[in-house]
């Protein structure tokens, strides 16, 4: 199990990571989701041992990795730009980590022929796993982006890493390819049970692949939970906005757990003791179990099988085509974001 404790990292007197702690359990895929520039790649570099934090610990199965150089950590990395060796064919790319691992464990002597057989077997096994069976002799430059990323994945998996890290691996691929490869990565992670950290700024991607999502903002993890938990309760204005979780409006507390809005008074179950008169940011979302509100549709947008009605700062999906200016009645759930 990987554990990060209170990691701090500063660049040019700017605090980038400010006390990051989390762990990744056996077989778990943890997804780190944050805007571009929020320090995601830096955190992966720190875990890989390519960057040093000013403070904090990285442990694997309880052992501090501070003295362990990158190549001895047994972590695999998959990057957005694939990072393949263009002068090597697919076989040699995938075999690279295996050969390195052998150099590393030189102590116990293996007969060269046996070793070569073992490497051949493992490379072909990995290429099969990523659906590139028989690609051994091909050149990197002859492959599509999606295929190159599969090779990168096979290369990372071949030495049986004890942790896999993905840094926006689908960032350079177009939409259809993205979805397919994402499903395959997910299936491979489940099958191999290798713990993984998957970094992205794309919430759909994160929610589709993660067992657990961590939201990174301003150097801190501001929300953690299963995709369903995080989506159900983003917990802050920033998170609700970043996830595009619904409309965000401001209410005024009338009692400790009731807020007045232009759409009526709502009860909150956030447990906060709001002072009367306090401004409270609220998330308003469509919900069949919610309370009915009315608003005037100012703008209608066609959205596949539904229509998006906008008005009074709200945005909702409606099944039947509404008219501009029409009063829309809709059931909503209101949640505190303070
Ligand atoms: P993300 O992967 O979330 O987009 P990064 O970890 O790549 O974010 O970088 C976050 C910020 O940290 C960058 O905008 C940059 O200002 C700073 N940074 C990253 N690496 C370095 C470095 N080696 N030297 C100085 N600043 C850096
Ligand atoms: Mg990055």
For residues 174-201, average pLDDT: 94
Q: What is the pLDDT of residue 109?
A: 59
For residues 25-34, average pLDDT: 97
16 in contact with ligand 1, CB cutoff 6 A = yes
Residues forming CATH 3.40.50.300 domain(s) in the chain:
2-232
For residues 72-98, average pLDDT: 94
79: number of Cβ within 10 Å: 19
Could you tell me whether strands 55-60 and 299-303 are parallel, antiparallel, or unpaired per DSSP bridges? unpaired
Whether 308 has a pLDDT exceeding 60, the answer reads yes
* Lowest-confidence region among 32-41, 97-106, 196-205, 282-291: 97-106
For residues 110-126, average pLDDT: 86
Q: For ligand 1, atom 20, which residue shows the shortest CA distance?
A: 42
Whether 103 has a pLDDT exceeding 70, the answer reads no
Q: Which atom of ligand 1 is nearest to the CA of 44?
A: 6
Q: What is the pLDDT of residue 106?
A: 54
Sorted by sequence, the CB contacts under 8 Å of residue 7 that are 6+ apart come out as: 17, 19, 20, 21, 43, 46, 53, 55, 56, 57, 58
Q: What is the pLDDT of residue 62?
A: 95
Q: What is the pLDDT of residue 99?
A: 85
Q: Which atom of ligand 1 is nearest to the CA of 16?
A: 12
Q: What is the pLDDT of residue 210?
A: 97
Q: What is the pLDDT of residue 111?
A: 67
312 contacts 268 by C-beta, under 8 angstroms: no
Output the pTM of the full model.
0.92
250: number of Cβ within 10 Å: 14
Give 107's pLDDT tier (boundaries 50, 70, 90).
Answer: low
Where is 317: in which H helix or E strand?
Answer: strand 314-318
Closest CA to 245 of 277, 206, 284: 284
Q: For ligand 1, atom 22, which residue shows the shortest CA distance?
A: 11
Q: What is the pLDDT of residue 23?
A: 98
Put the strands of the sheet holding 299-303 in their side by side order.
299-303, 306-311, 314-318
For residues 155-180, average pLDDT: 93
Whether 110 has a pLDDT exceeding 80, the answer reads no
Q: How many percent of the chain have pLDDT more than 90? A: 86
Classify domain 2-232 at the CATH class level.
Answer: alpha beta
For residue 52, report the distance from its CA to the centre of ligand 2, in Å: 17
Could you tell me whether strands 299-303 and 163-167 are parallel, antiparallel, or unpaired per DSSP bridges? unpaired
Q: For ligand 1, atom 11, which residue shows the shortest CA distance?
A: 37
For residues 145-160, average pLDDT: 95
Q: How many percent of the chain have pLDDT more than 70? A: 97
For residue 172, report the distance from its CA to the centre of ligand 2, in Å: 13
Strand partners, 2: 24, 60
For residues 296-325, average pLDDT: 91
Whether 18 has a pLDDT exceeding 70, the answer reads yes
């Amino acid at each position: 199990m990987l554990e990060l404790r209170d990691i701090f990292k500063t660049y040019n007197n700017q605090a980038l990571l400010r006390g990051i702690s989390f762990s990744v359990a056996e077989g778990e895929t943890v997804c780190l989701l944050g805007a571009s520039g929020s320090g995601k790649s830096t955190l992966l570099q720190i875990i890989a041992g390519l960057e040093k934090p000013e403070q904090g610990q990285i442990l694997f199965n309880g052992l501090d990795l501070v003295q362990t150089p990158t190549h001895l950590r047994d972590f695999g990395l998959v990057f957005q730009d694939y990072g393949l060796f263009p002068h090597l064919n697919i076989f040699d790319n995938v075999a690279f980590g295996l050969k390195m691992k052998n150099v590393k464990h030189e102590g116990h002597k293996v007969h060269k022929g046996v070793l070569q057989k073992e490497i051949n077997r493992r490379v072909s096994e990995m290429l099969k796993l990523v659906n590139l069976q028989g690609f051994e002799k091909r050149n990197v430059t002859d492959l599509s982006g999606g295929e190159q990323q599969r090779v990168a994945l096979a290369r990372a998996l071949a030495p049986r890493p004890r942790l896999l890290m993905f840094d926006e691996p689908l960032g350079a691929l177009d939409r259809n390819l993205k979805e397919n490869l994402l499903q395959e990565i997910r299936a491979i992670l489940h099958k191999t049970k290798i713990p993984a950290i998957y970094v992205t700024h794309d919430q759909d991607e994160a929610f589709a692949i993660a067992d657990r999502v961590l939201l990174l903002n301003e150097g801190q993890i501001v929300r953690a939970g299963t995709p369903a938990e995080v989506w159900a309760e983003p917990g802050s204005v920033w998170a609700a906005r970043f996830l595009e979780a619904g409309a965000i409006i401001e209410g005024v507390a009338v009692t400790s757990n009731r807020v007045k809005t232009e759409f009526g008074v709502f009860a909150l179950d956030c447990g906060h003791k709001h002072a009367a008169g306090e401004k409270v940011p609220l998330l308003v979302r469509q919900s069949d179990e919610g309370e009915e509100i009315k608003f005037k549709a100012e703008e209608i947008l066609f959205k596949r099988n539904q229509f998006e009605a906008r008005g009074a700062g709200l945005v909702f999906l409606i099944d039947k085509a509404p008219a501009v200016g029409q009063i829309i009645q809709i059931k909503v759930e209101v949640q505190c974001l303070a």
